[in-house]
Structure 1
Amino acid sequence: MPEVHLSAGSVEYQDTGGEGPVVVLLHGVAMNGSLWRHVVASLRRDFRCVVPTLPLGGHRTPMKVGADLSVAGVAQLVAEFLDTLDLRDTTLVLNDWGGAQALVALGRDERIGRLVITSCEAFDNYPPGLPGANLYASAKLPGGIAAAFGLLKLRPLRRLPMTWGRMSKRPVPREVMDDWFAPLWASKEIRGDLRKYVLGVPPKATLLDWAEQLRTFDRPALVVWAAEDKVMPPEHGRKLAGLLPRGRLVEIPDSYTLIPEDQPARLAELIRSFLTADDAAS
Structure 2
Amino acid sequence: MNEIELSAGTLQYVDSGTDGPVVVLLHGLLMDASLWDDVIADLSTDHRCIAPTLPLGAHRRPMSPDADLSLPGIAGLVAEFLDRLDLHDVVLVGNDTGGAVVQLVLRDGAKRVGRAVLASCEAFDNLPPGLTGKTLALSGKLSPGLFGAFMQQLRVRAVRRTPLAFGTLTKRGDAVTARWIRPVLEQPEIRAETVRMLRAVFADRNLLVETAPELAHFDKPALVVWASEDRVMPLDHGRRLAELLPQAQFAEVADSYTLMPLDQPAEFAGLIREFVRGRGASAEK
* Number of the residue aligned with 1:264: 265
State the shift of 1:126 in Å.
1.8
Shift of 1:33: 0.6
Code of the aligned partner of 1:145: F
Matched, 1:157 2:159: yes
Which runs of 5 or more structure 1 residues have no equivalent in the other structure?
none
The aligned residue for residue 102 of structure 1 is 104
Identity of aligned residues (%): 50
CA distance in 2, matches of 1:217, 1:118: 17
How far does residue 202 in structure 1 lie from its aligned partner after superposition?
Answer: 4.8
Q: CA RMSD in A?
A: 1.4
Q: Is the 8 A contact 1:217 1:244 kept in 2?
A: yes
Match of 1:221 in 2: 222
2:131 maps to what in 1? 130
> Aligned pair in 2 of structure 1 residues 198, 124: CA closer, same or farther (>3 Å)?
farther
Partner AA of 2:163 in structure 1: P
Asked if the contact 1:166–1:257 (Cα under 8 Å) also holds between the matched residues in 2, the reply is yes
Aligned to 2:171: 169
Name the CA shift for 1:121/1:115 in 2 (closer, same or farther; >3 Å): same
In the alignment, structure 1 residue 275 sits paired with structure 2 residue 273? no
> Which amino acid in structure 2 is aligned with residue 146 of structure 1?
G
Give 1:252 deviation, angstroms.
Answer: 1.1
Kindly indicate whether the alpha-carbon contact (under 8 Å) linking 2:239 and 2:250 is maintained by their aligned counterparts in 1.
Answer: yes
Question: Could you tell me how far apart the structure 1 residues matched to 2:203 and 2:102 are?
Answer: 15
Q: Does 1:120 align with 2:133?
A: no
**Residues 140-151 of structure 1 aligned to structure 2 (within 5 Å):** 140-142=141-143, 143-151=145-153
| Structure 2 unaligned regions, length at least 5 | 281-285
Aligned runs of 1:1-282 on 2, under 5 Å? Answer: 1-97=1-97, 98-107=100-109, 109-142=110-143, 143-170=145-172, 172-174=173-175, 176-200=176-200, 201-277=202-278
For 2:120 and 2:147, locate their aligned partners in 1 and report how far apart those are by CA, in whole Å: 24
Cα 1:278/1:264, change in 2 over 3 Å: same
Normalised TM-score (structure 1): 0.94
Which 10-residue stretch deviates more, 267-276 or 144-153?
144-153
Q: Matched residue of 1:228: which SS?
A: coil
1:7-60 CA distance string (max 9 Å, x none): 010000011112311000110111111111111111101000001100001111
Q: Secondary structure at the match of 1:152?
A: helix
Deviation of residue 65 (structure 1)? 0.5
Distance 1:202 1:244 in 2: 26
TM-score where L is the length of structure 2: 0.93
Amino acid corresponding to residue 104 of structure 2 in structure 1:
A
Q: Distance in 2 between matches of 1:236 and 1:36?
A: 23
Alpha-carbon displacement from aligned partner over 1:199-237 (angstroms, at most 9, x marks no partner): 113534442121111000000000000111111111110
